[in-house]
Chain A
Amino acid sequence: MAYVSIADRDHEAEHHDPDTFITKYVWSQDHKVIAIQYGVIAILIGLVGMLLSSAFRLQLGFPDVFSFINPENYYQFVTIHGMIMVIYLLTALFLGGFGNYLIPLQLGARDMVFPFMNMLSVWVYALSVIILVASFFVPGGATGAGWTLYPPHAISPGTPGTDWGIVLMLLSLGVFIVAFTMGGLNYVTTVLQARCKGMTLMRMPLSVWGIFMATILGLLAFPALLVSAIMMLFDKLLGTSFFMPAMIQAGVATDTVGGSPVLFQHLFWFFGHPEVYIVALPAFGLVSDLLSTHARKNIFGYRMMVWAIIAIGGLSFIVWAHHMYVSGMNPYFGFFFATTTLIIAVPTALKVYNWVLTLWQGNIHLRVPMLFAIGFIFTFTHGGLTGLFLGNVTIDLPLSDTYFVVAHFHMVMGVSPVLVVFGAIYHWYPKMTGRMYNETLGKWHFWLTFLGTYSLYLPMHYIGFLGVPRRYFAMGNTDFMPDSAITLNASMTISALIIAATQTLFIYNMIVSLKKGEKSGGNPWKSTSLEWQTPDTPPKHGNWGHSLPEVHRWAYDYSVPGQAEDFTPQTVPESEVPVGRDHGTEH
């Protein structure tokens, strides 16, 4: 077939060329603007999630000192904190934010394949966030059912927010899924259809691979959440009993019979576990590119990294019931899910080895993005190792619903992806704005966040081991709360507050550097991938000026022996590579 890039077909490039402020910055169909809109909304709602966590940490660290936290809003804060962080911050930021920014730029396309649907996606996402926030202001307040929203308690009187809160929560999730699906169709189609000349699948940067696979997972897994949300809405609003069993409430039998709460758990975790990888795979991809660029070395085992992403994606669908070991399931099922869970550790560990081997003998530049990337290797390994404990049925049973679990998943899918988010924002900030961030502030931001999270979550493993249960508003004088646990709780709260305060450095840095940052130039990191080779920085509408780039190599030609520069952009053909000194980084 003759080569005509989709975005290059005559009418398409012009038909959404923006000219007014509104079409340029609000109803924009430019993937870069949409990416930043996604990013800004996600970070704003993420800050809300962080403030909520500070509030309930105050109660946990200093019980009954702060009168504005009562059991009801404690549960609401915990629930909405979890929901925001997992879905409205991380999923939206990785796929809507980085997916939108990087897919067309790294693949040499002018835009997403369906720009209008892309614009709809971000505004529908904004709507879902508004519905979520609105749930705090309706009668009864937001839902306090825990982020897993397990029935029957999620819709039974006694739990906070069973009037309107839970309805708005489920509605907001439904709207989010619609937004995600519109975005997801775009990401998959763009990767498959709009790559520029020479960009074979195996020349794509790992960022795109991670985002691509995560999108496929999201498209197949979010329906499970949608199905369970719809059925729970029926139970709540129309009086059906899909999930609602026969219950006696305050001495009176309810009219629900026979519903299966475990069915909800299956549906929820059928979404919930792939969701972990929807967040993790883009992080894996982005961090690979960060490490390779700032270590001036090709990524170790590129093909293995790609296959590991594919394998993790496939396996992530058959491990969901390891979240349900205590639901009374058949022991053979438990055995099956423990086995698959441990198998998924193999490709994941392989990736960790490859990141470390990428650093081996590299020319490491400890700039801010690199610090965050290396920090990620630590926190992810740490969180992954505790996952091996929890994946085993016999060890999981006593640890279930303790702070050990909380510490585990915060390390592995809270702190780790967030470190990558920060690293990636610092890394691509010069491309997005044309200016450099403040390096000193960035380093402070990294060290305070990195050490802060360790001082928060390491002790949390210990109190979990003691048996301190999660989700409790107050522990009271119980045997498993020795003095050490009480003191540690206070210290963890102080760490959490310090981490929260530290994020103002990041926000300040991002905003002030917009105007005051040094001009960065087009390729400050001497990077090989396409987004750094755009004619303008920040790239203009249409990205590539008159003609699309042509790709002649993969994205990891760093420090190739015998070449004059320590990087060769993807656009340089073999015949035009300057020959010169040996960099001595590869032997």
Chain B
Amino acid sequence: MYITLIFLGIIMATVITWLLRQTFNTQPWISEAADNEVSGSSMDTNSKAVALTVFLAVATSIFALFISAYTIRMDEPDWRPLAEPTLLWTNTFMLILASVAYHWTRNAAVKGLDSRVKSGLTVSGAFTVLFLVGQVVAWQQLNAAGYYLDLNPANAFFYLLTAIHGLHMLGGLWVWARSTMKVWTGADSDSVRLSIELCTVYWHFLLLVWIVLFGMLLST
């Protein structure tokens, strides 16, 4: 559980430090002591961005716990590491391209370049779909090679971790599909700019998670 604890330590330390900075040196019982202009919207952030940040903390918590469970279960004597298909390298490359493409789309959306946003969204979606298809093919390769899910916990974890990561990716694709539909049916890039910006963050996050997972699967 050390990994989870370290992750949680970081998150809680951030939350607590922030809260203490907000609450220290205040005298709430004196009515003039606070700036009466302060409100929730005086923070220069968008609520959807805040919600995404919180959701990323939740998702990180899920992955950290899975990784903790992985490392604990790994120590039992019945653990037989599996040979990861080389296809995973290609898939990783696809995901990196998807992330880069989304970032490019984001830059285009910020500048208001409608046609680049259109093509950028299409390309990022395509790479993401390729990544997911590649993951499914990797499953089939493993299955064909006799690494069945129920044969060994190492196999089970492989399928489980890739599935959970893939599900998060699918969730992202749903939001992607909505903005892509909008853009292709004639909406200007400004109406989807926020969605694209947040998706970019989400794609980078899932890329990072995948690199951590892939590294862990490779090295054990």
Contact = CB atoms under 8 A, between A and B. Distances in A.
B65 A267 contact: yes
- Of the four ranges (under 10, 10 to 19, 20 to 34, 35 or more), the interface on chain A belongs to 35 or more
Contacts of A266: 1, 72
Interface string B12-26: 100110011011001
Contacts of A4: 41
Contacts of A263: 69, 72-73
A417 B43 CA distance: 34
A189 B40 CA distance: 9
A258 B76 contact: yes
A129 interface: no
Contact of B50 (A188, A257, A259, A314): A188
Contacts of B15: 216
A114 B52 CA distance: 12
A181 interface: yes
B38 A198 contact: yes
Nearest to B45: A193
A267 B69 contact: yes
Interface in B9-61: 11-12, 15-16, 19-20, 22-23, 26, 28-29, 31-32, 34-45, 47, 50-51, 54-55, 57-58, 61
Nearest to A203: B28
Given A202-B34, A260-B76, A266-B72, A226 B40 contact: no
A263 B150 CA distance: 18
Interface string A325-354: 000000000000000000000000000000
B28 A554 contact: yes
Contact of A242 (B16, B22, B58, B156): B156
Interface residues of B, number: 53
A542 to B, nearest CB: 17
A451 interface: no
A492 B43 CA distance: 54
B22 A197 contact: no
Among A186, A191, A192, A196, chain B packs the most CB atoms within 10 A around the CB of A192
Interface stretch (A17-25, A299-307, A389-397, A505-513): A299-307
B22 A202 contact: yes
A270 B1 contact: yes
Contact of B57 (A195, A219, A240): A219
Interface stretch (A159-167, A441-449, A467-475, A545-553): A545-553
A241 interface: yes
Contact of A113 (B32, B34, B47, B76): B47
Contact of A310 (B19, B41, B42, B156): B19
Given A223-B58, A258-B78, A259-B153, A189 B34 contact: no
A318 interface: yes
B40 A6 contact: yes
Interface string A497-525: 00000000000000000000000000000
Contact of B62 (A227, A257, A307, A550): A227
B54 A238 contact: no
Interface in A148-207: 181, 184-186, 188-203
B131 to A, nearest CB: 22
Interface in A78-126: 107, 109, 113-114
A3 interface: yes
Contacts of A226: 62
A239 interface: yes
A238 B151 CA distance: 10
A313 B37 CA distance: 29
Contacts of B1: 266, 270
A219 B54 contact: yes
Given A181-B58, A223-B62, A552-B31, A196 B22 contact: no
Contacts of B38: 197-200
Given A242-B156, A310-B20, A107 B61 contact: no
A74 interface: no
A230 B160 contact: yes
Contacts of A199: 38-40
B162 interface: no
A231 interface: yes
B97 interface: no
22 contacts: A113-B51, A189-B50, A193-B45, A197-B37, A198-B36, A199-B40, A200-B35, A202-B23, A203-B34, A219-B58, A220-B61, A223-B61, A224-B65, A231-B69, A234-B149, A241-B156, A258-B76, A259-B76, A260-B72, A556-B29, A557-B31, A573-B31
Interface of B: 1, 4-5, 8, 11-12, 15-16, 19-20, 22-23, 26, 28-29, 31-32, 34-45, 47, 50-51, 54-55, 57-58, 61-62, 65-66, 69, 72-73, 76-79, 149-150, 153, 156, 160, 164
Given A202-B22, A223-B61, A259-B153, 13 more contacts: A6-B40, A113-B47, A114-B51, A181-B55, A192-B43, A220-B11, A224-B65, A227-B69, A242-B153, A258-B153, A259-B76, A313-B12, A552-B36
